[in-house]
Structure 1
């Protein structure tokens, strides 16, 4: 009997600001089509090149469909199929033994951003209740945006800023360290609306990206010098007498100290720091001084260096000086997450005693002998974290019991003792919020999970039951968890219920439209924008003139075909990516005897990887670029860009430093792309 055809509303779970609303066509129980929701004000019917292949990805032949136990050496990727009962029993026995002998803190629950769901993923700290009952270590998920969040909060009191939709009202748009057409392309529609009304678009980026090519102007800044450029632009604003004195007097604090810092950064000094022509700095500074409103889009890549938090703090100060924070279409857009006042309860009350915190980006350092169990979910640390070779060495420990919940046989799966099959987005319930827009999103499961795949929370419910845990909240259903999340009582969520979301698919937060968050004040202790004490520019490693044996600054931007390591095994997207490439300027290539299509060794003291050279003027001399997201075992030489990235911290929040690494290149003997 035919079940007919259904249109099921859902939301993209991936680590992208756009969090698209999608519509899945289900025919006789099978998902046959997926498209962007044309009724959603931000998605507007379009998905990205990656997610357009999502249904194909759910049916990929390498999908993990059953629990598995390791039968070969760690790292070999050799497993045998076992039942769920066998898996749960083995896990229960091992966890109980670890807790009895070493305490719960010997367990590290390593949660990543493979899904941003508030029920199944990182935004809602999925599984935290279960881990608290066991007394496991806390996991500090700092890999993405921490430095920028803290930097913005030090200026504005929150990392929240502009509603990105208001870019349609901007007259000057600075796309600062962000490749909009690759990482969040739905914003481009609003930028195009602004351009149609006369807006000027400037891309500030070390690489001439797809976005920079479409902008009216591109400033190829030296990596890690963004805060210096911000100060230089403001120096021109002051020389033009264009600071908003009324706004400065009534809505900011610490102005005199910050003004002195600006005056110490005239354009000629900033040109030396940033590598930009002084004339370009002055011209943009004049344009900034006299163009209202100015909107600045700065996303996570800009803060992944030693001075990343300070960079965001200083950039956020620009609209405080120009008064753009009070205008629709003015300000800085980084992340809108802070506006979603969901009731995220980490349930500290379930802990019998305080526990330590282990840091996501310090995995190699943290996996010492005190950690006896690593439980990885929604993450692929072998592909996504720093110090790749050191992480691999730690994962080879025979005394480290490693469980991985996954959809595909990633690099991390190869080091697991037990592998548990995980659902994909079309197969489970979840609640989402875009960090690049103002909409709550609902994801209704469209189809039944294939094989024996289970969602994150169903896995933890079954394991809790198998272990005989009695805490009632461990068994809350997905719908109950969603209801609890929405029950914060915050005015922005008034009238937003699970029933309404399931019916409508998405709801805009209860905020004005256009939304101007800081027209009359800031959520800081003073109620004002706080320029604050401390340096306004912290140099990164790549900004140094003294680079020693490694003279090239390596940038590791997002790929157009992968999202982090998601889709890194999709044959068509892998083909389109053309394998690991490294952009090298003509001057740097010639100096090293490198030619287009030649395979090069990229190395420093941390490690090395191989990539095919693309000689291009898209990068300036002294800068090379190779995209993240490639799988280690599918890459030449068995390593990726993260092999050369060190486990260091940014200036704020222990943020990652993926764009703050110095390397050298040399030819690989007689090996060229075929």
Structure 2
């Protein structure tokens, strides 16, 4: 038994910060002694999360102290990995990338960005000059495995890919959730610490929560009603909802009626899809569809919210567009209790717009399959073929930053093959993962508690305006670098191609290194809607102009700096925010509820909303085929998420993976009987691209005809460094998902609704161990 001395207790430090492991931004109260974390609890004084935390929060301590976490750069040798110095690692990485670029052209370089990047303001702010230094069009990220359809709708309807409408969940009386599970995600594109409390509050004030999903998930258990729907047919339900709204004269544009265009085109789009016609295909009764439409139209404070189930499927682009349209047609956009826009302290959409980055779509296409770019990125589903297909645009070298696409992208087996074929690969990662094991160099950043933190991405998605800044809990060691420092050092080396570029690179390097992410965040805070009066010194503003130009070259940010805070419609908001003032409020600052802000907040040229962009109307021609598909044949695979997991990057925390095996195949009893599998026994699941074997969990929570495997698992591949994850390996659902199975409109991966077959594997002669992944020919994959 350990006994704490009085002196030790007195020397404990208390630190307040936000959890950085998901979107919820929950406030933490962390006690430490020396370099040891004593406890992590919810911060009851945090104005946003009010003391709530989920089990993931304690994993911050596990990540920081994990003995498997890399502390020094690694280089691959014939005898395995060897530790090398930072200067040697950075020089070698830059030299090899420059060599590939000179031999094969700039687009022979590829880069993949994983989702942890947006949980760190240093990564978010310093990735831009790094990407500019790489100068390649072959950019990929987790965006096209997730929320790309939402961002496309933001761009085409509101004029800015980063302007997300967010459910005003704290004031709504009807919350309809289609294809989402906020109790497991803590809110996704809806940052909402303590989301279960917020959902229960809707019911306590006499409101209603409805979930629509092929699985009766955790959120459905606290809802008033759950409706099963066949995967991939959500677009039919949404079109039938629009048909009902027009057919029963339920349209109410409210205060936005003067800025809405093409309502009639939307009526015509839904005309061919009455509820009775789509009922069989969707599995949703026609009367339930009509009842849902009436409830949305007749409830004053209501919202329709859609997430992964509608986003990562073959009709993801159409689904998100239609969800936005339904909220508009029922008068629930930019209205209390409906779908509203944030006004964050660091206003990324406004800053992006002022620097010329509102977003763009389909400026060029992938070289093999011809899928469109979005915001300068190609769909991640094309990554393997862009590496493996010979030609002038073939990727020869990869930079992977905080990502594990072998487990997170479709057809992970082919990505394994692709990464092993590269001339050079560098991973910026804390571990030797299923992806970084293919690298020639691994550059590990300092730990999550060794950096300061201010949420600048998820504040734009929050259900209430809030901001918090936290200094580092622990200092990094002398031989460690933060992610942003790695980006900066590589940018400096990659940009020095001649004397002039060397001088420019050195100036930018010194300025940005001096400012760091906190200095840049401070500038953006003061440019934001709650910013303070700006320094008048020409010397100071000139210095800032150079620093801003390093991030946003060629754009008039000096004028922006001189004219003061952004967003003319926000002149009545409280002012004075800076890093200095936030340090005086360690629990965070409450900036108030979401407020109506249209049309001022729109970034369209005419400050109007187009309900019927041509790209969506043209894509509707694909939908008719859904009505004639054979609903009785085969099984459809969907993913799922657990509150103790976050993709693949928390499975090395023992406290998060211990207990009951969560990597199971969920099946309805009728399907289990039909395909001869039993609860607890192994089943073989096969798709076009792969085969896996895992235990079955029979449950009536699944819709008949649908099976589910969680994403993020599959840690049985050889050569990885995280031992705990390997002991709880499971299988990777993305060894079954198909890279050819995409939403052709947006290019987003269709990870849900994948056709599979299932059969019993309990009596396999080779008695393969549970959790192993099989190749198409039935052999064990490594």
Shift of 1:595: 0.7
CA gap 1:341/1:444 in 2 versus in 1, 3 angstroms: farther
CA distance in 1, matches of 2:344, 2:277: 34
Counterpart of 1:114 (choices 113, 116, 121) is 116
Superposed, 1:197-216 pairs within 5 Å as 197-216=205-224
1:162–1:517 CA contact under 8 A, matched in 2: no
Match of 1:384 in 2: 408
1:38–1:46 CA contact under 8 A, matched in 2: yes
2:241–2:275 CA contact under 8 A, matched in 1: yes
Match of 1:442 in 2: 469
SS in structure 1 opposite 2:281? helix
Shift of 1:392: 0.6
2:119–2:455 CA contact under 8 A, matched in 1: yes
CA distances 1:193-240 after superposition (whole Å, capped 9, x unpaired): 222110011011111001012100001111122232223234334454
SS in structure 2 opposite 1:242? coil
Shift of 1:642: 0.6
CA distances 1:557-598 after superposition (whole Å, capped 9, x unpaired): 223321111112223322346152111111221121111112
Normalised by the length of structure 2, the TM-score is 0.76
Superposed, 1:297-308 pairs within 5 Å as 297-308=305-316
Match of 1:351 in 2: none
Stretch deviating more after TM superposition (334-343 or 204-213): 334-343
Flag structure 2 segments of 5+ consecutive residues without an equivalent: 1-6, 188-193, 358-363, 366-375, 497-501, 528-564, 717-725, 772-782
CA distance in 1, matches of 2:680, 2:342: 36
Shift of 1:608: 2.0
Counterpart of 1:374 (choices 377, 398, 404) is 398
SS in structure 1 opposite 2:130? helix
SS in structure 1 opposite 2:292? helix
Shift of 1:84: 2.5
Match of 2:420 in 1: 396
2:582–2:589 CA contact under 8 A, matched in 1: no
CA distances 1:283-324 after superposition (whole Å, capped 9, x unpaired): 323323322221222234421112111111111111222222
1:167–1:191 CA contact under 8 A, matched in 2: yes
CA gap 1:509/1:153 in 2 versus in 1, 3 angstroms: farther
SS in structure 2 opposite 1:50? helix
Match of 1:490 in 2: 566
SS in structure 2 opposite 1:222? coil
Superposed, 1:594-633 pairs within 5 Å as 594-633=677-716
Match of 2:759 in 1: 666
1:151–1:311 CA contact under 8 A, matched in 2: no
1:13–1:115 CA contact under 8 A, matched in 2: no
Shift of 1:362: 2.1
Match of 2:721 in 1: none
CA distance in 2, matches of 1:406, 1:673: 28
CA gap 1:59/1:308 in 2 versus in 1, 3 angstroms: same
Match of 2:455 in 1: 432
CA gap 1:152/1:96 in 2 versus in 1, 3 angstroms: closer
Superposed, 1:18-33 pairs within 5 Å as 18-33=24-39
Number of matched pairs: 659
Match of 2:443 in 1: 420
Higher relative contact order (CA 8 A, sep 6+): 1
Residue 7 in 1 paired to residue 14 in 2?
yes
Superposed, 1:451-530 pairs within 5 Å as 452-463=479-490, 470=503, 471=505, 472-475=507-510, 476-477=512-513, 478=516, 479-486=518-525, 488=527, 489-491=565-567, 495-505=576-586, 513-518=593-598, 523-530=603-610
2:636–2:706 CA contact under 8 A, matched in 1: yes
Match of 2:734 in 1: 642
Shift of 1:48: 1.6
CA distances 1:465-523 after superposition (whole Å, capped 9, x unpaired): 6777541223413233323444544246953322233443576696x634234489955
CA distance in 2, matches of 1:247, 1:374: 49
1:316–1:332 CA contact under 8 A, matched in 2: no
SS in structure 2 opposite 1:174? strand
Stretch deviating more after TM superposition (39-48 or 469-478): 469-478
CA gap 1:505/1:379 in 2 versus in 1, 3 angstroms: farther
Superposed, 1:173-212 pairs within 5 Å as 173-184=175-186, 186-212=194-220
Stretch deviating more after TM superposition (489-498 or 250-259): 489-498
CA gap 1:448/1:610 in 2 versus in 1, 3 angstroms: farther
Normalised by the length of structure 1, the TM-score is 0.87
Superposed, 1:519-558 pairs within 5 Å as 523-532=603-612, 533=614, 534=617, 546=629, 551-558=634-641
CA gap 1:270/1:87 in 2 versus in 1, 3 angstroms: same
1:17–1:335 CA contact under 8 A, matched in 2: no
Shift of 1:96: 3.7
CA distance in 1, matches of 2:508, 2:163: 31
Stretch deviating more after TM superposition (475-484 or 244-253): 244-253
Flag structure 1 segments of 5+ consecutive residues without an equivalent: 349-353
Match of 2:750 in 1: 657
Match of 2:658 in 1: 575
SS in structure 2 opposite 1:324? coil
